[in-house]
Chains A and B, each alone.
Chain A
Amino acid sequence: MSTLSLAVRDSSTMLRRNLLHARRYPSMTLNLLLTPVMLLLLFVYVFGDVMSAGIGGGGSDRAAYIAYVVPGILLMTIGGTVVGTAVSVSNDMAEGIIARFRTMAIHRGSVLVGHVVGSVLQSVLSVVLVGAVGVTIGFRATGAGVLEWLAAFGLIVLFATALTWIAVGMGLISPNAEAASNNALPMILLPLLSSAFVPVDAMPGWFQPVAEYQPFTPAIETLRGLLLGTGIGHNGWLAVAWSLGLTVLGYLWATSRFDRDPA
């Protein structure tokens, strides 16, 4: 068997294993969905009037704020899902079965690839579920045609892949599940510090660079533009560049950690 087909076959076996875990123990996936849904409802129904008044510069408009906040919440959902990835990778590495995999003549990277593909699928599913909640409370993708929908889907997959590889690295350096969940905290904090809830312009000047120079803001602005028809500008390229950069970085980091002798 060629190296490539070996890699594909073993990776899909590992993917099946991870999906089996997720299916057998869905509580973790569902718990991670709770945070973005809660935040969505909180920001729309509790803070919504004040927030929209501040953003619009005029009167409060809840519908307008729903439109603003949902794309941010969707990408935040990915951040939350990959925290689960870091935890499950760290848990998995503590299992004897991983030592067994290392002594088998299988494609070396398949263990990690299985985690990554499984986690990206989970992210997409989570985004769909949270998106459904958004639609239920009144979100409408007014600016999106078929091309925009495809591009939005592509962005979500690309961004999820990037964050997942980084999260896998975080899981690999964590000695236990608690440490993994702490190490992966930036995945939840960064969207809070991005343009998800308020535009960067509305932030104090000294804080704007924090919001601007991080992956979530360009990704959120791009998704917002695709779904609502607002301007994307250079954010599209920035989002793609961040995603590709983080994917390469995360891949190199995670595989080199995994290739090291286990302790």
Chain B
Amino acid sequence: MARYFTDEHEWIDVEGDTATVGITDYAQGQLGDIVFVELPDAGTAIDKAKDAAVVESVKAASDVYAPISGEVIETNSSLEADPALVNTSPEQDGWFFKMTIGDSSQLEGLMDEAAYKSFCDGL
């Protein structure tokens, strides 16, 4: 399994033909308490860098972009009842959705953990 990061603060785990997407610990820290996550329906085709989900705190709503293109397979239904998972476990239990990998070459431009960490340090 490999984990990649985008400069828009999404992470993506790749395992075989599927990928899991969420937002990073840094992002949830900036947003503060998450109150709602709007997820795409399973079966939705999403395009790299286009809106895929919305994450809301009390005073802000941020679009979450698709790190790569593909089709949504499954969404994290526990976020419906407990959006705070994004705060408490952003990079594990607070995952957003699983998707197919439309074009694995799109992974190439993404950062690894070390690169993302230094990217955040520079912000």
A is bound by B:
no
